[in-house]
Amino acid sequence: MTRRGEVTCELSAAFPPRPVYDAAAVETIKRTLTLYAFAIDGQDWDGLAHIFADDATANYGAPIGELAGLAQIKETLPPYLTIFVGTQHVLGTQLVDVCSPTTAVSITYFTAAHFRNDTSSPTAPVDYSEVMYAYGQYQDRWRKQADATWKVEHRNLVYMGPFVSDAK
């Protein structure tokens, strides 16, 4: 499932994809993934409570590492992201597989732009040394909550290449 040899969920066992038997769950999970991008880019750290279960775990890889619990996720991510004046996380190719009435797995490709320089205008041009791009996958294991929402119980972030920037 991962390039690091970690076993987080067995989405590969779902290929070829099984028929979707719970389209509402798939749509709810996709919407929750979208909320993650909005929360990160809007620096709404409390909003992460709508995405991650209280007892969630996450492996964000270097330099962030492994995190345990929603509180640690909310405390650890901001220092790595607030050093940028802005970010834009774009979600791409996505597969959600509902494994049971209360469990699911998903893989979502992402491209994340991290902007270093604050300009006087949002349309003022900057060169590529002021932007860092990351490409990767969110590999998530989901659990349906008592209130019928779906939340990530484990996230594994896999970078699909090096960070891209002209910064020296």
Task: Indicate which CATH number applies to the domain containing 140.
Answer: 3.10.450.50
Q: Which two tokens stand for residue 105?
A: 């797995």
* 84 vs 48: CA distance, rounded Å: 19
Residue 21 CB-density burial (10 A; 0-12 exposed, 13-18 middle, 19+ buried): exposed
Burial category of 97 from C-beta neighbours within 10 Å (exposed 0-12, middle 13-18, buried 19 and up) = buried
**pLDDT of 166:** 80
Structure confidence at residue 158 (pLDDT): 96
CA pair distance 50, 48, nearest whole angstrom: 5
Query: Which pLDDT score, from 0 to 100, does residue 18 have?
Result: 66
Residue 90: CA count within 13 A, CB half-sphere: 8
**Half-sphere exposure for 154 (CA within 13 Å, toward CB):** 12
What is the per-residue pLDDT for 163? Answer: 80
Q: Is residue 81 part of a domain?
A: yes
Query: In terms of residues, how long is the chain?
Result: 168
Predicted confidence at residue 72, as pLDDT, reads: 98
Domain containing 96 equals: 19-117+128-159
Domain contains 24? yes
Are the CB atoms for 40 and 78 separated by under 8 Å? Answer: no
Sign for the CA dihedral angle at 4, 151, 30, 40 comes to negative
In a domain, 109, yes or no: yes
For residue 2, the model assigns a pLDDT of 45
Question: Is 4 inside any structural domain?
Answer: no
Query: Would you put residue 148 in left (φ > 0), alpha (ψ -120 to 50) or beta?
Result: left
pLDDT score of 11: 56
Q: Is there a domain that residue 58 lies in?
A: yes
pLDDT truncated to tens, each residue of the chain (168 aa)?
444 444 445 555 556 666 777 999 999 999 999 999 999 999 999 999 999 999 999 999 988 999 999 999 999 999 999 989 899 999 999 999 999 999 999 999 999 999 886 666 667 777 778 889 999 999 999 999 999 999 999 999 999 988 888 876
